[in-house]
Structure 1
Amino acid sequence: MLPSYDPNNSEAGMKLLEDLTSNAYQIQQQVLEEILTRNSHTEYLKGFLNGHSDKTLFKEKVPVGNYEDVKPYIERIANGEPSHIISSHQITELLTSSGTSGGQPKMMPSTAEDLDRKTFFYNLLVPVMNKYVEGLDKGKGMYLLFIKPEITTPSGLSARPVLTSYYKSNNFRNRPFNRFNVYTSPDETILCSDSKQSMYCQLLCGLIQRDEVLRVGAVFASALLRALKFLEDFWKELCSNIRSGHVSDWITDPSCRNAVSEILKPNSDLADLMENECSGSSWEGIIKKLWPRTKFIEVIVTGSMAQYIPTLEFYSGGLPLVSTMYASSECYFGINFKPLSKPCDVSYTLLPNMAYFEFLPVERNHTDSEVVRCNGVHEEDRDDHLQVVDLVDVKLGQYYELVVTTFTGLYRYRVGDILMVTGFHNNAPQFRFIHRRNVVLSIDTDKTNEDDLLKAVTQAKVVLEPLGFLLTEYTSYADTRSIPGHYVLFWELKMKGHNNVVEAELDGNIMEECCSRVEEWLDSVYRRCRKKDKSIGPLEIRVVKQGSFDALMDFCVSQGSSVNQYKTPRCIRSEEVINILNSRVVGKFFSQKTPSWEPFTMEIHVV
């Protein structure tokens, strides 16, 4: 299912994409047939199909499921049972998801062939970008790429994030030579396990080679902004290194240090230029100032990353923001065939040979204006009586939840992404990513849903109750104006027997403990981002005066909400609503502790 072609031949790459999208139906049928023929005798499928590989029987008998359905099988493999309980091909590693609602990262099975499929996918991004942006072969990309901690399961399999898996693979290190794959960051700096040393060295290398940089990027918008904040904190030291030609002594990783030292030479002119730009009163347009040949910024700015667009536009100096691809730990899905489109117009064309795709129709409730206006995107969870439809049968303008059957052992698996059909490229539909199902808060790779938030708040308010305080209402939002961003909770409190709470009655230590308690009860992905990655700042609780949530309801009703159907939104995105609550704040408190983090509860050891 992976056609061979020369990745340096953009014309051949575009022709291949045309063939894939023109024959979407036929390829999808071949994909399903191959998956079933290969895996029909696995324990999971045999329980439904009794060893048959008939496609019609597959749709009739195999249920649409979620992670809880396949989790026992994956955990058995992690603990040493053979791969063939879900896959006829050897499971070579487990890919940990970026987010979960179950308190621990999900683990997705992967095979050696799966790495080849990802490499095939990445290679197809090149001809698309070359079609829209000329001269990319005349310079380098300053991409800030990082690895994250990995573990070894009792079976000896590695469990690690999908990008860590790819960057550590021979497929990445021996990637086909083309100028699109030439980065300012040496592989040694990308593979450095110390994120601070990695960040410093990658920025240093990018600055040294500034005249060659044609594109700047990271995987997520949040990661690029974190790098810019790091640059704000360390630019003087970076200037000193460039001026002297000597790497700071605290860079102790030998591979990292050697790789940087090979390209670092004394350059007082560059140091002077950088000092002039970075010491100014404003960093507006700093990317264009430091890397003047940059043609675009490549980061994911769809979904929860859209909240960073205004900040990126401030730093970018008017450069296009490009989201090239749509992928997850489960599978790589689609490519943006119009990469220079505005972030709000980005759509992804699913490549039909990556997996077998199905879709659960999602009914949108357009009458609950308080949900749309105050709580962002919302869908009714009524998919139990709706038919699953195939890739080529989706309808323009309709909303769907993505379901995948992969080559690696996931069968009719609900990814949890809500998509809208925006058009077609040949016979392949194009989708706009709307949001993650049930997720209400996200800063980086964390994904906190309403239930997770409720559980954490419930644990925190226990601290207040013995003191006579009652939490009468709460809501939240992701504050991304600061770097790193952080969760903000609005709490309305009252004292038993009293009608009001004033700032003087709030014990700062107690409220800070509430902040810390919330963080300790959020899932391990959030806690990893706080403790290990430092990509999320301390959680904040803003206590508002009595009647603030009544004012919130009054505003929503004034905008057309039904009083009878109104529910307090647990996450708010409207600036007007945030301003209403901010104007009534009587106390602000931050977590003073870094939450504990352990990647898994099973017996593992960190590599």
Structure 2
Amino acid sequence: MLLVVTVVAVAVAVTVTLRASAVLRHRLARSVLLCAAVRYRRRLELLGSEVRLSQERRLRRLLPAGTAHGSEAFRERHPLGQSCPSDGVLSVHPPPLRPWALLCCCWGTDPPLQGSLLYLDALHAAFPQALARRGTALLSWAPRHPRARAGWPLPSLYCTPAEASALPSRAAALRVQLLFALRERALRVLEAGLATELHDALATLRAEWPGLAQDLELGELSPQAGLAEDARGQLQALLAPNAARAAEVRAECARGFEGIVQRLWPQLEVVVVVGTAHGAEQLYCRALRQADCKGLPFYCPFYGAAGALLGVNLWPEEQTPRFLLCPDWAFYEFLPCPAEEEPQTVLLDELWEGREYGLVLTAQPGEYRCRAGEVLRVAGFHKQCPIVEPVRRESQVLSVRGESIPEDRFCRSLCRAVGLWPGARLVDYICVESALLGASSGAVAPHYEVFVELRGLRDLSEGQRYKLDQCLQEDFPTYKSFRFKGSIGPLRLHMVGARGFVRLREALGSPLPMPRVLREERLLQLIQSTVIS
């Protein structure tokens, strides 16, 4: 009870202390939030000790008043649904934070606030200086529906203006945010909404560092496509000339780009990627760890599906992201993989370690038992709560004859093939089923077309191109059988020029995780226009 009174008293003090310095206000707010995080973490421990009861309570809150209670009755009344109506983007719109909201969250159900508190607590425990005022830079593009920053309850963490995220051009937004990040030498955290956004922002640094350094020196935003004059004026008003920092950026970039992030921001402790890193999405994180972000840990704090926040990563220093599914954030069901003819779901407390499950979700009133299109692997348990690793997205399966090659396993086969090409490094890739090509695919058997961006190679021989098809045959017996019969034709491999995939991500029009199988003809035409070999 004493802790509750203390939290409320300090929270009220934060809101009324208008004359306190910005630094003091930041420290007070940080203390309040960390106190609330400790209290909610204790509650989470209790919830994890009685998972079935916690899930039944959550289900009652999601059902209309007067509905018969109980998960068994719920599953009998509502058949398994189709895909979730949301596009799968974790997009949270938190309300303004009030002092009493911190107290209510300790026993209420507010996943955005509770998740962010757990994030701040875990980040502070692993990296004690990470919650410094203006010590976090953000790289995130959200033109229509702003995404919440990971530490949104503590806005004084961020040195990046909120207006930069809402620019209509993805390239312009990331460049402006990168410029504001470069101003702050004492950064502690580099946060990105998606791994692709960090990847593309650092690609912009490679390509445009002289212009960025000049903008820093002059304190001006240079004219660029996608940046309207009124927005440019508003953002430029926040800049000031900094010749010393501009000289430092020039000197470090002139030395090369391996480890450039640590060299530009010597006090940086961690790279935070908010969006869930699926198996194929790890491609970007691995590339960044090996080059630009060498020597820095990566932390993916949240797991979400169908637009809902479902889990949190409490282990920032571990290389492989693992997420604790919180039992009071949604009602979870799981379909064992491989799928059965008459699928029967199991509940949160009925999972087995090491097995894979398809996620069935009830997270919003009226949207019952939706298939989230996500496959998770149970990596362990925290008390009774499962700790999961996202494995693949069911929408990203390649199949022209029912052979079903999932994205994570295709990525492994592709990486194995690239390893057989001396000097090559895979930067990015996308797949297309030949049916999308229509008449342009020719009078041949159905097949895959794969578009790759590589470093270290300018062209591929026919023998090298065949290596990928050979790896797929070795890794997937069904595919090999269809290839032997001639019912699936040879795979066609194309090399894409530099920044071709950056253009593709801009054309997607929203901050989605990178698709691995194209389903739209306009996107296919765009990537075809960037082929160089």
Assess, with a 3 A threshold, how the Cα gap between structure 1 residues 335 and 564 changes in structure 2: closer, same or farther: closer
Aligned to 1:22: 49
Letter in 1 for 2:215: N
The Cα shift of 1:265 comes to 2.2
Q: Could you tell me how far apart the structure 2 residues matched to 1:120 and 1:133 are?
A: 20
Assess, with a 3 A threshold, how the Cα gap between structure 1 residues 347 and 112 changes in structure 2: closer, same or farther: same
Q: Could you tell me how far apart the structure 2 residues matched to 1:295 and 1:589 are?
A: 34
Matched, 1:137 2:134: no
Letter in 2 for 1:362: C
Uncovered stretches (5+) of structure 1, i.e. residues with no partner: 41-50, 72-94, 100-107, 151-163, 364-381, 442-446, 484-540, 570-579, 602-607
Matched, 1:566 2:523: no
Aligned to 2:470: 552
2:113–2:153 CA contact under 8 A, matched in 1? no
Q: Could you tell me how far apart the structure 2 residues matched to 1:117 and 1:550 are?
A: 43
Q: Deviations over 1:4-52 (max 9, x none)?
A: 99533243243233233233222111011222244x7xxxxxxxxxx64
Assess, with a 3 A threshold, how the Cα gap between structure 1 residues 121 and 225 changes in structure 2: closer, same or farther: same
Specify which of 387, 406, 411 is matched with residue 363 of structure 2: 406
The Cα shift of 1:221 comes to 1.2
1:439–1:449 CA contact under 8 A, matched in 2? no
Aligned pairs (5 A) from 1:477-556: 477=450, 479=452, 481=454, 544=462, 548=466, 552=470, 556=473
Q: Deviations over 1:492-520 (max 9, x none)?
A: xxxxxxxxxxxxxxxxxxxxxxxxxxxxx
Assess, with a 3 A threshold, how the Cα gap between structure 1 residues 266 and 581 changes in structure 2: closer, same or farther: same
Q: Deviations over 1:459-481 (max 9, x none)?
A: 5251354xxxx434633556364
1:399–1:418 CA contact under 8 A, matched in 2? yes
Matched, 1:336 2:336: no
Q: Could you tell me how far apart the structure 1 residues matched to 2:507 and 2:281 are?
A: 26
Q: Deviations over 1:304-352 (max 9, x none)?
A: 2111233111111210111111113341110112121112xx2211011
Aligned to 2:75: 59
The Cα shift of 1:59 comes to 1.5
Q: Could you tell me how far apart the structure 1 residues matched to 2:250 and 2:93 are?
A: 46
The Cα shift of 1:253 comes to 4.7
Uncovered stretches (5+) of structure 2, i.e. residues with no partner: 9-31, 97-107, 399-406, 411-429, 485-489, 511-519, 521-533
Aligned pairs (5 A) from 1:147-546: 147-148=142-143, 150=144, 164-167=145-148, 175-177=152-154, 182-211=157-186, 213-250=187-224, 251-255=227-231, 257-262=233-238, 264-280=239-255, 282-299=256-273, 300-313=276-289, 314-343=291-320, 346-363=321-338, 382-440=339-397, 457-460=434-437, 462-463=439-440, 465=442, 470-472=443-445, 474-477=447-450, 479=452, 481=454, 544=462
The Cα shift of 1:394 comes to 0.6
Aligned to 2:141: 146
Point out the structure with the larger strand share: 1
Q: Could you tell me how far apart the structure 2 residues matched to 1:322 and 1:234 are?
A: 27
Q: Could you tell me how far apart the structure 2 residues matched to 1:191 and 1:589 are?
A: 29
Letter in 2 for 1:326: Y
Q: How many residues align?
A: 428
Aligned to 1:8: 34
Q: Could you tell me how far apart the structure 2 residues matched to 1:115 and 1:352 are?
A: 10
2:94–2:113 CA contact under 8 A, matched in 1? no
Q: Could you tell me how far apart the structure 2 residues matched to 1:551 and 1:327 are?
A: 34
1:325–1:334 CA contact under 8 A, matched in 2? yes
Q: Could you tell me how far apart the structure 1 residues matched to 2:111 and 2:150 are?
A: 16
Percentage of identical aligned residues: 20
C-alpha RMSD of the superposition: 4.4
Give the TM-score of the pair, scaled to structure 2: 0.68
2:305–2:374 CA contact under 8 A, matched in 1? no
Q: Could you tell me how far apart the structure 1 residues matched to 2:300 and 2:464 are?
A: 43
1:330–1:415 CA contact under 8 A, matched in 2? no
1:298–1:324 CA contact under 8 A, matched in 2? yes
Q: Could you tell me how far apart the structure 2 residues matched to 1:144 and 1:546 are?
A: 37
Q: Could you tell me how far apart the structure 1 residues matched to 2:287 and 2:467 are?
A: 29
